Amino acid sequence: MRVAVHDPTRRQPQVQNATTDDTNGRGLMLVNALADGWGVEPRVPCGKTVWSEFKIDTRQGSPNGATPCGHG
């Protein structure tokens, strides 16, 4: 599964070391810890897209009786 977010700035994101008192700065730290991969791509006409990918084991079936997209 791929998740992507975008914003209008070209500033490259960096994994932060947030303290317990910080109210932000944990998003990319969580992505880095949980995702199977992530990266940054330029976005036309401006900004960037930050994406992350998560491997899904389809052999175990759908959780809680959910029906996967495209399977009726």
Confirm whether 63 is domain-assigned. Answer: no
Confirm whether 69 is domain-assigned. Answer: no
Q: How many domains does the chain have?
A: 1
Which domain range does residue 31 map to? Answer: 2-57
* 21-49 per-position pLDDT tens digit: 999 989 999 999 999 999 999 999 999 99
Considering the chain, what percentage of its residues have pLDDT values greater than 90?
A: 71
Confirm whether 39 is domain-assigned. Answer: yes
pTM of this structure = 0.71
Cβ proximity of 30 and 16 under 8 Å: no
Residue 46, by phi and psi: left (phi above 0), alpha (psi -120 to 50) or beta? beta
Confirm whether 68 is domain-assigned. Answer: no
Confirm whether 34 is domain-assigned. Answer: yes
